[in-house]
Structure formats: C-alpha cells, structure tokens
C-alpha cells in the first residue's frame, strides 16, 4: 500500500493533493458526484441534495466547534435566518438564488458576530446555554412578524434564476442525453456550494487563522501567551460559522420549498448538526462530509428497517430516525470518539504498516 511521499519542504506539506493516489481519489469522487444525479432515482436524488445541505452546515459548525472548540447549540438559529432570508427575498421581492446566497450568509454572520462577545467570557456548557437561547430568540422574532414570515402558517421558498424571472424548474437543459429536471439542476447548484465550503474550510484550517483556532481550542491561555489574539480568533470563528450556516439555511429552504418556524428553528436541528460532526469526526473537514453522508443515508435506512421492529413500529418516521441517531452518536462517543474519520485512519494506518503489526 503506497504511503504519502516524504515532505522535505514546507510547501510540500501544505499541498492539498500530495500524492497521485489522492489525486486519483478526488477525480473518482468528482466523477461520481457529477454522474450521480443522472442515474439516481428521485428518492436518492433528494437524499443527495439533503447531504449537500448538511455538508455546508456541518462544515460551518465544524469551524466553530471542531476547529475553535466553542460549543454551540444555536446553529438552528442561523439556519433559520438563512432559510427565511431566501423565502422573503425570493418570494416577496423576486430576488434570484445567486444573490440570496451571500445575503443569507451575511445576515447570519451579523447575528453570529453579535453573539461573539459572549464567547469571550463564557466557555463550555455556559456558552452552549447562551447560544441555545439564541434559537428561541430568533424563533420569537420570526413569529412577531407574521405578515413577513408567514407566522405559524409557514412560507414558501421559490428558487429563481433571475429577478422576477423563471424558477429553476422552467429552465430546461440536457447533459449526456439526460434532461436536467429542477431537482437535478438544484443538486448541481448545491454541489458547487458544498465544494466551495469544503475547500474554504480546508484552506482555513491550514492558514494562520486556522492554526490560531486550533491553539484556542486546545489551550486558550497558552495561545494568548504565545501571541494569539484569542478574542479575534473567536470572533472570526463565530462569523465564518454563522455565514456558512446561513448559506445552508437558504439551501435547506430551497430543498424543502416550504418553511415553518417550529420545524426550522428548534433545538433538534442544532442537535442534528452536532450529531453530524460527532459521527464524522470532530476537528476535520472530511469528518463533516462523512458525517453528513452517514447521517442522511443511515437515517433513511433506519427508517426502513426499524419500522419492522415491535416497539419502534409504533413510532413515527421522524421519531425512529431520531432514536437511531441518538443511539449512533452514543456508540461513537463511547467506541470511537474520532468518528468515521478515526475509523478511516485506523484502516489506512493498518495497510500502511502491513504485513507488520506496528
């Protein structure tokens, strides 16, 4: 089994694709991602789009919790801000999706930066409680303007190509002889956004700011002694994380096509994103991607198989998924705290040392 080439220069160590095997793996992954919607059924195409939404949101939470060590239960608030920004701008004012994406991110980042000062004084569970309060605060604000947000009745989320122009479903294209339906077009748009988020987080982790985040996560007092601006690092983490969460919220709204406050801005959504980074592996960008894939796929499989069990068959589909995901997170925390990424590293190191056991 070939291993990574020996790095003799700092530039070699910073390269994203340091070996031909990694390059080949990326090429295969890109081909699969591009060809997947052309052969997938409508169910799996929907699941693929959901995975991409969770990838963007999971990467955002990974930057805050995995990179910087700031525990947050308020991710659902930023998801809701992004989703309702897409609903209001697209439905009321006819703004196209490519304008809504940065606007949703900026609005969510503004709220995230407003929470930033609390991160300078609070840690651990205390910070988690403050961010949890943000979820209820955002939900209350959304309910206070029913003429704009739809209130408890909900609001539709159109996805427009142009200002007051046609939606994605009316623009017909073909790829390799396959008509690109609205679901396929939306998948490719989500794929671009997910790739941008992953590449951004990967480069952020390897930058000076990313190393500062890791230092704050491991020991903030020691990081301050070494010259790291702890306050600035936490501000940046909250801003970037909430920006990506806002983008993910807009994507979630376009995928769901209809939003309600109780279903979008609630504690369960925040817990789902925490489960994603725990299952995938906290502290790595790959962990956010693996966690999103496992969260959606295993949740779908659990819904199908657990429904046949005597006690679980009486639960609803959402309750069965939540039960399975809770058990899965508990198992990973006990057996493999590094998540799926940790399992992959164990397998990789085993074959790197094979046939020896050390």
- Reported as a single tens digit per residue, the pLDDT across 38-84 is 888 888 899 999 999 999 999 999 999 999 988 888 899 999 999 99
Alpha carbon distance 213, 223 (integer Å)? 9
Looking at the whole model, is its pTM more than 0.75?
yes
Of the candidate ranges 4-8, 111-115, 199-203, 231-235, the one whose mean pLDDT is the lowest: 4-8
Cα dihedral 321, 327, 333, 334, rounded to 10, equals -160
Distances (CA, A) of 300 to 55, 68, 97, 263, 306: 17, 31, 28, 19, 10
Task: Summarize the confidence of residues 305-324 as an average pLDDT.
Answer: 72
pLDDT reading at 4 higher than 60: no
pLDDT reading at 335 higher than 80: yes
- With helix as H, strand as E and coil as C, how does 164-189 read? CCCEHHHCCEEECCEEECHHHHHHHH
pLDDT reading at 140 higher than 70: yes
155 membership: H or E segment, kind and range: strand 155-156
Split at pLDDT 50, 70, 90, the class of 99 is very high
Looking at every residue in the chain, the average pLDDT score rounds to 85
Highest mean pLDDT among 105-109, 219-223, 309-313: 105-109
Token reading at 271: 């817990």
Whether 29 contacts 23, CB under 8 Å: no
279-306 pLDDT, tens per residue?
Answer: 998 888 999 999 999 988 888 887 777 6
Confidence at residue 51, expressed as pLDDT on a 0 to 100 scale = 95
Percent of the chain with pLDDT over 70: 89
Of the candidate ranges 93-97, 111-115, 344-348, the one whose mean pLDDT is the lowest: 344-348
179-223 pLDDT, tens per residue?
Answer: 778 888 899 999 999 999 999 999 998 888 989 999 998 888 888
Could you tell me the residue ranges of all domains in the chain? 41-265
Confidence at residue 1, expressed as pLDDT on a 0 to 100 scale = 37
Token reading at 101: 């994406």
């Amino acid at each position: 089994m070939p291993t990574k080439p020996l790095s003799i220069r700092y530039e070699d160590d910073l390269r994203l694709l340091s070996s031909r095997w990694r390059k080949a793996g990326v090429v295969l992954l890109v081909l699969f991602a591009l060809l997947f919607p052309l052969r997938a059924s409508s169910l799996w195409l929907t699941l693929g789009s959901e995975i991409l939404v969770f990838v963007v949101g999971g990467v955002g939470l990974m930057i805050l919790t995995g990179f910087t060590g700031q525990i947050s239960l308020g991710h659902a608030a930023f998801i809701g801000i992004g989703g309702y920004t897409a609903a209001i701008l697209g439905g009321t004012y006819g703004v196209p999706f490519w304008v809504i994406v940065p606007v949703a991110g900026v609005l969510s980042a503004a709220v995230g930066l407003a929470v930033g000062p609390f991160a300078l004084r609070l840690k651990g569970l205390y910070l988690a409680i403050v961010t949890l309060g943000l979820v209820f605060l955002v939900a209350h604000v959304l309910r206070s303007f029913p003429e704009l947000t739809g209130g408890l009745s909900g609001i539709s989320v159109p996805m427009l190509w142009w200002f007051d122009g046609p939606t994605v479903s009316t623009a017909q294209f073909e790829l390799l002889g396959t008509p690109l339906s609205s679901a396929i077009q939306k998948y490719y748009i989500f794929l671009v956004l997910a790739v941008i988020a992953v590449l951004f987080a990967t480069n952020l982790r390897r930058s000076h700011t990313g190393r500062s985040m890791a230092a704050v996560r491991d020991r903030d007092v020691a990081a301050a002694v070494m010259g790291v601006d702890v306050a600035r690092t936490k501000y940046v983490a909250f801003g970037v994380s909430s920006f990506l969460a806002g983008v993910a919220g807009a994507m979630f709204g376009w995928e769901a096509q209809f939003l309600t406050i109780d279903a979008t801005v609630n504690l369960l959504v925040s817990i789902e994103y925490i489960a994603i980074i725990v299952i995938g592996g906290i502290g790595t960008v790959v962990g956010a991607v693996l966690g999103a894939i496992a969260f959606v796929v295993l949740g779908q499989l659990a819904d199908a198989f657990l429904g046949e069990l005597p006690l679980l068959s009486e639960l609803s589909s959402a309750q069965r998924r939540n039960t399975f995901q809770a058990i899965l997170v508990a198992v990973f925390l006990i057996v493999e705290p590094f998540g799926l990424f940790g399992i992959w590293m164990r397998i990789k190191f085993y074959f790197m040392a094979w046939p020896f056991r050390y």
